[in-house]
């Protein structure tokens, strides 16, 4: 546990000087984070001065999450089911499950692991983190998190409270309805930057510095945006290629999560990113040859 249980009040401040919001006044809020990787550690360290935080690592006793109010999922998409299934009989019915993950499969995976009827909040984030050579998680720059309820579900009050909680921890957060355009916004960028940098074994600056990499990333982004449009999604930016280049510029020193996965010889999120674009492209009749090529090449590089 990162901190003891402390009732929140309007006058209490976290270690970063953020004021705990009035909406949470008088409440005792406990947060559980599934995943002790770089991203999970960044959120845990930010939240710990404000509320009690538990991190669930592989092999931990899931009963530690019996009293949490919020469950933040910070594992890779391919680990979701295995990480969440032990919590199915543990979590309180009113505990809200928050996905910080990439891709579009979060709701289906959460319900497969925990059962239907859960309060689910989607929270695409641009917070970046990497482990340094000593294995210490380091926050890379300052990102932001958009929170919202999946289409057709209830829980707006929980979304507002979550945004307040993240803000109290010094994490930039905003509420969005609908949330789906923001999931797609991140997906388009990930689909363009992650496989290109992973295959080249280079940082995000590679997308800016190498003309071939830039062209390939642009083609990937255009295909992904075309699939989003076919799915009826209005992206929150008008030019997907410009957005990709902006993100690459802002994160030029970063090594994408897909690159880090390949470097450690583990599985990647290629199926949840480019693979999902290819699948939905087929569904909606949109050609995605560049995403298919990226999917095939990363699969081979990962030994899949």
Known catalytic residue: 76?
no
Alpha-carbon dihedral 85, 89, 94, 98, rounded to 10 degrees: -10
Give the residue-averaged pLDDT of 282-301.
98
Q: In the chain, what are the domain boundaries?
A: 22-175, 180-301
Residue scoring higher pLDDT (132 or 244): 244
pLDDT of residue 13: 30
Class of CATH domain 180-301: mainly alpha
Using CB atoms within 10 Å of the CB of residue 81, give its burial: 0 to 12 exposed, 13 to 18 middle, 19+ buried.
middle
Tokens of 156: 């707006």
pLDDT of residue 236: 96
Assign domain 22-175 to its CATH superfamily: NAD(P)-binding Rossmann-like Domain (3.40.50.720)
pTM greater than 0.85 (yes/no): yes
**Is pLDDT above 60 for 191?**
yes
CA atoms within 13 A on the CB side of 185: 22
Q: Is 256 left (phi over 0), alpha (psi -120 to 50) or beta?
A: beta
Q: Which of 4, 25, 76, 186 is catalytic?
A: 186
Alpha-carbon dihedral 194, 199, 204, 208, rounded to 10 degrees: -110
Which residue, chain included where needed, has tokens 């709701």? 107
């Amino acid at each position: 546990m990162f901190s003891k249980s402390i009732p929140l009040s309007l006058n209490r401040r976290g270690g970063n000087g953020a004021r705990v919001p009035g909406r949470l006044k008088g409440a005792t809020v406990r947060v559980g984070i599934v995943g002790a990787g770089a991203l999970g550690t960044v959120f845990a360290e930010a939240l710990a001065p404000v509320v009690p935080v538990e991190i669930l690592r592989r092999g931990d006793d899931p009963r530690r999450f019996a009293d949490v109010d919020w469950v933040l999922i910070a594992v890779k998409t391919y680990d979701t089911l295995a990480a969440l299934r032990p919590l199915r009989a543990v979590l309180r019915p009113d505990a809200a499950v928050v996905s910080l993950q990439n891709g579009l499969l979060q709701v289906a995976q959460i319900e497969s692991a925990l059962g239907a009827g859960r309060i689910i909040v989607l929270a695409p984030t641009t917070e970046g983190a990497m482990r340094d050579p000593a294995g210490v998680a380091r926050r890379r720059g300052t990102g932001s998190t958009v929170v919202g309820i999946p289409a057709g579900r209830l829980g707006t009050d929980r979304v507002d409270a979550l945004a307040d909680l993240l803000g109290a921890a010094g994490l930039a957060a905003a509420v969005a309805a609908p949330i789906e355009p923001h999931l797609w916004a991140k997906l388009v960028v990930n689909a363009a930057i992650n496989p290109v940098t992973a295959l080249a074994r280079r940082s995000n600056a590679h997308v800016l510095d190498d003309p071939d990499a830039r062209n390939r990333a642009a083609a990937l982004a255009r295909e992904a945006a075309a699939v989003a449009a076919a799915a009826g999604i209005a992206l929150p930016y008008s030019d997907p290629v410009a957005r990709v280049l902006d993100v690459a510029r802002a994160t030029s020193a970063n090594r994408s999560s897909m690159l880090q996965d390949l470097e450690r010889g583990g599985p990647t999120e290629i199926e949840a990113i480019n693979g999902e674009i290819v699948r939905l492209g087929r569904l909606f009749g949109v050609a995605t040859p560049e995403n298919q090529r990226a999917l095939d090449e990363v699969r081979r590089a990962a030994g899949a």
